[in-house]
Amino acid sequence: MVFKRRDARPWPRIAIEFFYPRGGWKRAAWYITYRLQRLPDSPERIARGIFAGVFISFTPFFGFHFIGAALIAFVIRGNILAALLATFAGNPMTTPIIAITAVELGHRMLGITTPLDVHVIVHAFSGAGKELWRNLLSPFTEDTAQWGNLGNFFRTIYLPYMVGGVLPGLAVSTVFYYGSLPLIRAYQRLRLRQKAERAERRLAARAAARAQAEAQDWEELTEGPMPPAPPTPDDPGVAGPEAPFAAPDPRNPADAAGRSG
């Protein structure tokens, strides 16, 4: 296959690189920034796409961040590819911080008094996972579907996460929007200037090559060097055309004195 890796990665390596990229988080962030700046779209649309991707990273819709980012970007007329790249804001390094902040804020907004600590979070996730797996197998076993742990997980974790992630998501994505907009504009202006300079250098190189080819053709035809081009009045050091002779004016005292002399 064309896009298949030459060396297949083992599963432990894939898991490690999911939490820590091969080139490090700094290089991964630089690559995402580089790709965002080179998108062929207006800076405003790219910045709106970044807004959508960063905002969706503050929601608990894990597994659907790409779809949510694309939908938000489509609604606000942002660049969809920029939105997909901006979901990098929700990575294994930042997701725990985002989740704890959103859940705590959601508890305060919803008036939930359940204490939020590591034990409560682990218990809610483990109970919901076990119950979900049991419910999936219940049609093939004698067990009946139970929804108690899943309901507790939704009330204490998922719903507060979804409600509490809106405000910090709006705040952080707005910062990303206004922070990326001037950078993208400056980068695109720099690229246009560099593109114009490269075009000028190509034209100059073609003109020089054409002049050299004409000189070689002249030497082959005349067996001598090509004569220089005739000077033009615009060239420095070349006098312009002489003014035509004007007859003396008898009313001009200077011309009258010249006749009398």
Other Cβ atoms closer than 10 A to 183: 14
Dist CA 56 CA 156 (whole Å): 21
Give the start-to-end residue ranges of the domains of the chain: 11-191
Band of residue 2 on the pLDDT scale cut at 50, 70, 90: very low
pLDDT in tens, 149-168: 788 888 888 899 999 999 99
Q: Is 187 exposed, middle or buried (0-12, 13-18, 19+ CB in 10 A)?
A: middle
- More confidently predicted of 157 and 41: 157
pLDDT of residue 48: 93
pLDDT in tens, 71-122: 999 999 998 888 888 888 888 788 888 988 998 999 999 888 877 777 777 7
> Is pLDDT of 58 > 80?
yes
Dist CA 83 CA 173 (whole Å): 11
CB 30 within 8 A of CB 88: no
- More confidently predicted of 247 and 118: 118
pLDDT of residue 68: 92
pLDDT of residue 175: 95
Taking CB atoms within 8 Å and a gap of at least 24, the contacts of 217-224 are none
